[in-house]
């Protein structure tokens, strides 16, 4: 791609690319002035949009074009090539968009459009009062999508958390490690909610839902009416019934307040015990090592993460943490905690001035149960994410939905929660959007990202392409020859292509 200045046809022709240098589905990155721009071809059409993902800055030129969208290589956000809109989370902000013109075998990029075109979805018959219970991934993404689609009625968002919606994955990764400033943690600054007329009420507990009368009742006895309700109450960290769990240096991690308490304690600590060797536990272990704290991990598993990623990936993850100084106590568990140490079932003790339990979460189903919604180890929803009560939708960690590749599943993934919030919002506006995104999550351990697409609760074969130890692999989890899920390390394009192949199975 080259920059062509002073093009004869008009002052706004700023950058030219030979049209035949781009095959269908290919893209090229370059610059227009100071802007990094991606020129992409889909069929006979050429598009130009920003080249840097608006989530964490992933390089879109290393991503994948699927139809008239581009997918980010890092966490699979999906942007429209036509408008720059962030169609699928985790990115929420649009990319810049430049009209293109094909002339004399060259694609010219014209002056930047001022803003992404908004596709309005409202009609006079649209519901007027939307209530969102939950200020997390799904709740926030839903409220944001309602306004993005030009819904102009009332949105009340109720959260029993003290903090506005935060980038929860960061709480076990860069923010906990001390590598990300506090400004990165909120999903939006405080002005967003007033500017968007989202009535965000923090420290507000929803006590009940009357599905027939269409009201929610708050802890203070007041009621809020709704036309459509999204239930997105997420999950809570499991607290083990151990002597010493209530001591001030013992923590779980779900909220910003939990994270701040761990950071404060870490500042006074030299030795930590992390209970649990799955995603949250091990990300916490890595972040505490980044703070120079000795970390011991205690878990009943034979190999960390083996239940989700299989034994070979589990062994790799264990080795990676050991390289960074983490000491594992596997096939063991804590039986008691006191001010100075953790006592193990095997009889030993580990000195600890900080203890973090990352032993799993429990979906917060009490409200849904009390409201009489159908429950099946989660709130049962249909493909439109509507619960058994018409007008009440559920999304995120509480929702068990009919995944088209895997049957009814409930997962605890950030991107799934956000995308479900977005789909639920469209349906609350009267749309008929099926939730059919392929599940995706990522996890980060030191400088090693693990991406995972699909869903595999069990498998009869694991096929490794590449080399796990060299951090260059695609690991396929198969059942009767069919790929259920794929984990990868530093094989971002493969991960995107696997996701696209899984989507094609559904088409
Ligand atoms: C530290 C950490 C790191 C993570 N990292 C990753 C990762 O790297 N990748 C990944 O895929 N996933 C990750 N996850 C999981 C991911 O964050 C969750 O899957 C996601 O947040 C679920 O979104 P949600 O909207 O369902 O629930 P949440 O984000 O938990 O939001 C639930 C909201 O509901 C509110 N609420 C609950 N009950 C009530 C009530 N009765 N009244 C009012 N408000 C209520 C809560 O206060 C909260 O605001 C991580 C989770 C944690 C805790
Ligand atoms: S950086 Fe693009 S999706 Fe996260």
The pLDDT score that the predictor gives to residue 6 is 34
The pLDDT score that the predictor gives to residue 4 is 35
Ligand 2 atom having least distance to the Cα of 90: 3
The pLDDT score that the predictor gives to residue 12 is 52
Distance 506 CA to ligand 2 centre (A): 24
**For the stretch 190-214, what's the b/e string if a residue is b when 16 or more beta carbons lie within 10 angstroms of its beta carbon?**
eebbeeeebebeeebebeebebeeb
Ligand 2 atom having least distance to the Cα of 75: 3
Distance 41 CA to ligand 1 centre (A): 37
Q: Which ligand is nearest to the CA of 396?
A: 1
Burial (0-12, 13-18, 19+ Cβ within 10 Å), 189: exposed
Distance 40 CA to ligand 1 centre (A): 35
Ligand 1 atom having least distance to the Cα of 255: 53
- For the chain, 507 residues long, the average pLDDT of each consecutive 10-residue run is 38 68 90 90 94 97 97 98 96 95 88 71 80 98 97 97 98 96 94 97 98 96 97 97 97 98 98 97 98 98 95 97 98 97 97 97 98 98 98 98 96 98 97 97 96 97 98 98 97 98 88
Nearest to 75 by CA among 413, 415, 367, 403: 415
Structure tokens at 488: 């990868």
Q: Which ligand is nearest to the CA of 414?
A: 1
Cβ < 6 Å from ligand 2: which residues?
53, 55-58, 72, 74-75, 77, 90-91
Distance 60 CA to ligand 2 centre (A): 9
CA dihedral 205, 206, 208, 212 (to 10 degrees): 170
Q: Which ligand is nearest to the CA of 419?
A: 1
**Is pTM, for the whole model, over 0.85?**
yes
Distance 166 CA to ligand 1 centre (A): 9
Q: Take atom 3 of ligand 2 and give the residue whose Cα is closest.
A: 75
Ligand 1 atom having least distance to the Cα of 440: 11
Question: What is the number of other CB atoms lying within 10 angstroms of the CB of residue 88?
Answer: 23
Task: Tell whether ligand 1 has an atom less than 6 A from the beta carbon of residue 358.
Answer: no
Distance 22 CA to ligand 2 centre (A): 24
The pLDDT score that the predictor gives to residue 9 is 40
């Amino acid at each position: 791609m080259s920059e062509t200045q002073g093009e004869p046809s008009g002052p706004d022709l700023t950058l030219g690319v030979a049209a035949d240098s781009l095959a269908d589905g290919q893209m090229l990155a370059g610059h227009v002035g100071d802007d990094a721009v991606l020129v992409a071809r889909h069929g006979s059409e050429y598009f130009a949009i920003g080249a840097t993902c608006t989530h964490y800055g992933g390089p879109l030129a290393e991503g994948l074009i699927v139809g008239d969208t581009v997918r980010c290589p890092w966490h699979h956000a999906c942007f429209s090539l036509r408008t720059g809109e962030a169609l699928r989370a985790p990115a929420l902000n649009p990319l810049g968009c430049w009209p293109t013109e094909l002339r004399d075998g060259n694609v010219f990029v014209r002056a930047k459009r001022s803003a992404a075109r908004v596709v309005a979805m409202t009609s006079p018959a649209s519901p007027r009062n939307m209530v969102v219970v939950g200020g997390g991934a799904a709740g926030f993404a839903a409220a944001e999508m309602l306004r993005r689609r030009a819904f102009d009625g009332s949105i009340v968002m109720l959260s029993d958390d003290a903090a506005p919606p935060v980038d929860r994955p960061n709480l076990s990764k860069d923010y906990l490690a001390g590598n990300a400033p506090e400004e990165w943690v909120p999903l939006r600054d405080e002005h967003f909610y007033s500017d968007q007329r989202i009535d965000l009420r923090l420290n507000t507990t929803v006590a009940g839902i009357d599905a027939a009368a269409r009201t929610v009742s708050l802890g203070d006895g007041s009621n809020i009416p709704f036309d459509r309700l999204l239930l997105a109450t997420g999950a809570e960290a499991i607290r083990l019934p151990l002597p010493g769990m209530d001591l001030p240096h013992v923590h779980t991690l779900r909220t910003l307040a939990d994270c701040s308490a761990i950071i404060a304690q870490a500042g006074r600590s030299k030795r930590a015990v992390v209970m649990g060797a799955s995603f949250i536990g091990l990300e916490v272990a890595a972040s505490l090592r980044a703070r120079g704290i000795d970390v011991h991990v205690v878990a009943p598993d034979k190999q960390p993460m083996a239940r989700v990623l299989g034994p070979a990936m589990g062994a790799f993850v264990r080795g990676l943490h050991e390289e960074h100084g983490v000491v594992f106590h596997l096939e063991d568990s804590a039986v008691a905690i006191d001010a100075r140490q953790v006592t193990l079932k095997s009889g030993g003790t580990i000195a600890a001035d900080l203890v973090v339990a990352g032993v799993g979460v429990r979906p917060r189903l009490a409200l849904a149960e009390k409201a009489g919604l159908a429950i099946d180890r989660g709130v049962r929803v249909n493909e439109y994410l509507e619960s058994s009560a018409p007008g009440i939708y559920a999304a995120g960690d509480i929702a068990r939905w009919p995944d088209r590749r895997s049957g009814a599943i409930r997962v605890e993934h950030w991107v799934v929660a956000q995308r479900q919030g977005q789909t639920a919002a469209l349906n609350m506006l009267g749309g008929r959007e099926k939730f059919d995104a392929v599940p995706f999550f990522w996890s980060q351990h030191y400088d090693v990202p693990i991406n995972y697409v699909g869903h595999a609760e069990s498998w009869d074969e694991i096929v490794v392409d590449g080399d796990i130890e060299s951090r260059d692999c695609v690991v396929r989890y198969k059942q009767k020859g069919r790929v259920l899920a794929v984990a990868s390390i530093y094989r971002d394009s493969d991960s995107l292509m696997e996701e696209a192949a899984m989507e094609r199975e559904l088409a």
